[in-house]
Amino acid sequence: MSDNTSGSVAMIGSYVPRKCGIATFTFDLSCGLAESVYNRPLAGGGPIGVVALNDLDEKYDYAGEVVFELRDHAKEAYREAADFLNQSKFEVVCVQHEYGIYGGDCGDYLLALTDRLTKPVVTTLHTVLADPNPSQKRVLKALADRSSALVVMAHRAYRMLEDVYGVPPSKTHLVHHGVPDVPFGDTEPFKGRFEVAGRPTILTFGLLSPGKGIEMMLDALAKVKPDFPNIAYIVLGATHPGVRRESGEAYRISLEQRAIRLGIAENVIFHNRYVSLDDLCEYLRAADLYVTPYRNRDQIVSGTLAYALATGRAIISTPYWYAEELLDNGRGRLVGFEDVDALANQVRELLRDDNARLKVRKAAYEFGRRMTWSSVANQYRNLFDKAREDRKTLSADAMTAPTKMRLSLPEVRIDHLYRMTDDTGLLQHAIHGTPNRHHGYSIDDQTRGMIVSAMYHRLFRDRNVLGPFHTYLSYVHYAKREDGFFRNFMSFDRRWLEDEGDNSDAQGRVMWATGYSVTHPPDRQSRMLCRKLFLGCVPLFDDIHHVRSLSFAILGCHYFLRHESDTTQVERLMRLAADRIMQQYTEHEGDNWPWYEDVVTYANARVPQSLVLAGLQFGDTDMIARGVRMLDWLLEVQTGREGYLSLIGNRGWLSRGSDRAEYDQQAIEVAALVGACKAAYRATGNVRYLNEMRRCFDWYLGANDQHVQVIDFATHGCHDGLTPDGVNLNQGAESLLAWLLSLLTMHEMQTGEPITAG
């Protein structure tokens, strides 16, 4: 950056050449600001910089104004972007917000960036939902709290922010979607380029997806064709990338087939490409009518509609919110959703009546003059100036308040997971860093492997992990017996090592893994199988009383119900399991023994974690309190003389009335504690549990009784425990999965909360 950046702005959003509406908007607004406010072209080193949001599937050849590339599903990158902006000369940050483009739960990774920023933020809301789900509402409310000003593009959005999200009206500002400044004129001079000279021409443009309602226009065209045999309907735009990933060009092909069946194939022209702004304006100026037959009433803004209005098109639209507002006062015509006859009638009327069409065009064009990018850019400039001045007037105390602790985390590397996985599953053991085939496989490791790989995919969208995930899921599916229970151990030559007997721990772990994968599936196909496996386990839990099995099942129910909240049989199981744990707790607890049996063994913190989550599900404060008490006690008895985490060892465990065994300490205990502290923080809001998460996590990094790293950063594996002589040099699956689950949880949670080392 040069020094000439007084009043300079950093834009955050997707960016050209990425092909999406937000990318185009970010570019156009940046150009408008550079040219209209700063009187210079948009270029590197100027007063406008761009933090470009990257999807991981593609790399883009950005222009010089892009100062930082932000990987959308890499949480650490959001914190890095915040640090970059804090140290930059940019004075204001302008965020383009849309659900679905930022990583995390409903895009909450963006909060990791805004939480950490010390610069004022102005946020443009491209979508405001009237009926958001809890996560969508949480993210938007948090973003509003962190923003100096919010920009909306419709009056209805302004009202909804106050009524639905509780945003003070003083924080919200209406600025129309920007549009190009083009002259008003006849359509015929532009038709020759697109081979529609002399033909009545209708245009629809935008990324193609089922929600665009093109079928309605095709059906209407079939009704209009007898009156206008040479009519042309241009459908301009590439297939939406999300649609193309899921179903290729099947939707576009279905539209072409529909046109053939309707006898209008020669009247419909599909241009399957993403066009430049200059080309788009020429397409618009060639169209006699512009149609948006969208199916979703809740659409609060449409850049395509704004562009059509600004170029003075005669517009016909279904009455989604933005169209109702933008086309009011004679600026366009509205027809009912799926009302093909009404659409056909409007097309006929406007094509037959040149005066009526001209009147609509002039009303649209006149209104569009207030929406040109130069006008919009100056309105944004005023908001930026106010945000900057408001920040200067903060009290000295507010400006010098200590910032939150921002401790680094190791990069998530799953090299050793790939190394330990073959075409059967995840091998149980390793000799140092080499897989040991003598001991075969266990369902315990496959289920934990499912959670880790699904979580890794959720956080980083790395499709390479899908292969291992499906291998683990296939093992679980194959392990199911005819009676519905699951086998556990398999030899390397694929022989089951047991076929009968109580294996309720495996049952609980299967529910945990499949429940998580129903809510966070790497793909739709795996969700269907995981749902089937999960529901198949539910009836079998009536006779199970093993507390750990019940705890694992509760964790599975917790995740399953986040996706399918109306499943009463799952809620019944979750309540039954939690009540049974509470009963055993009550029978065994004492003043200095808040535990459910007379010995504390392995994966201990999963029990309080499950009680806390069940208490949250049912609003049971006593259940939450019991879970928190158990966790607090586990943290207390596992704190060493130096304040480090000192785990209960497996050479004797901890029995009532006895001292705990100091060794061997296992990584599985750390993963359980990290998960339980996360649940306790969620239930209580007490920052202490964030600090405890970090203290527990640091056990891997040397904050332990032996002062040695348990992680091998050469192999990216985890040693099989801590012994009196140091680490166990073997790096098996259980330790590896515990490490990865702990690390992924820390990455998931680190959104700017004050996490300290304790």
3-state DSSP call for residue 551?
A: helix
Alpha carbon distance 264, 272 (integer Å) = 18
Is residue 418 within 8 A of residue 480, CB to CB? The reply is: no
> In terms of domains, do 549 and 632 share one?
yes
Examine the domain organization and report whether 384 and 458 are in the same domain. no
Q: What is the DSSP letter of 413?
A: -
The reply to whether 426 and 385 lie within a common domain is: no
Q: Does 364 share its domain with 378?
A: no
pLDDT over 60 (residue 270):
yes
Q: Tell me the pLDDT tens digit for each residue of 70-97.
A: 988 887 789 889 999 999 999 999 999 9
Q: Does residue 408 lie in a domain region?
A: no
Query: Based on the domain organization, do 272 and 153 belong to the same domain?
Result: no
Q: Are residues 124 and 167 in the same domain?
A: yes
Per-residue model confidence as pLDDT tens digits over 427-447: 999 999 999 999 999 999 999
What pLDDT band is residue 484 in, cutting at 50, 70 and 90? confident
Model confidence at 648: pLDDT above 90: yes
**How far apart (Å, rounded) are the C-alpha atoms in residues 231 and 515?**
53
Query: Does the pLDDT value for residue 666 go beyond 70?
Result: yes
Domain CATH number, residue 128: 3.40.50.2000
427-431 β-sheet, strand order? 427-431, 434-442, 489-490
- DSSP SS3 for 620: coil
pLDDT, average across residues 558-585: 89
**CATH number for the domain including 625?**
1.50.10.10
697 domain residue, yes or no: yes
Q: How far apart are CA 675 and CA 448, in angstroms?
A: 14
332 with 478, same domain: the answer is no
CA distances in angstroms from 15 to 23, 26, 226, 366, 517, listed in the order given = 4, 6, 44, 30, 32
Find the farthest-apart pair of alpha carbons in the chain and give their distance in angstroms, rounded.
Answer: 96
Please check whether residue 407 lies inside any domain of the structure: no
Domain-embedded: residue 3 = no
Count up the domains in the chain and report the number: 3
Full-model pTM: 0.70
Q: How many helices (H) and strands (E) does the chain have?
A: 28, 22
Q: Are residues 627 and 737 in the same domain?
A: yes
Structure tokens, 377: 């850019």
Which residue range forms the structural domain that includes residue 139?
9-178+374-400
- Asked whether residue 328 carries a pLDDT value surpassing 50, the answer given is yes
In this structure, the answer to whether residues 566 and 586 fall within a common structural domain is yes
Q: Is residue 649 one of the residues assigned to a domain?
A: yes
Average pLDDT over residues 232-257: 88
3: pLDDT strictly greater than 70:
no
Q: Do 444 and 544 share a structural domain? A: yes
Say yes or no: 523 and 651 in one domain: yes
Residues 192 and 174 in one domain: no
Per the document, the length of the chain is: 758
Q: Is the pLDDT of residue 397 over 60?
A: no
> Which structure tokens are listed for 111?
């909060």
* Whether the Cβ atoms of residue 486 and residue 503 lie closer than 8 Å to each other: yes
How far apart, in whole angstroms, are the C-alpha atoms of residue 631 and residue 681?
11
Tell me, what's the pLDDT at 444? 94
Number of Cβ atoms within 10 Å of the Cβ of 655 = 14
Q: Is 730 exposed, middle or buried (0-12, 13-18, 19+ CB in 10 A)?
A: middle
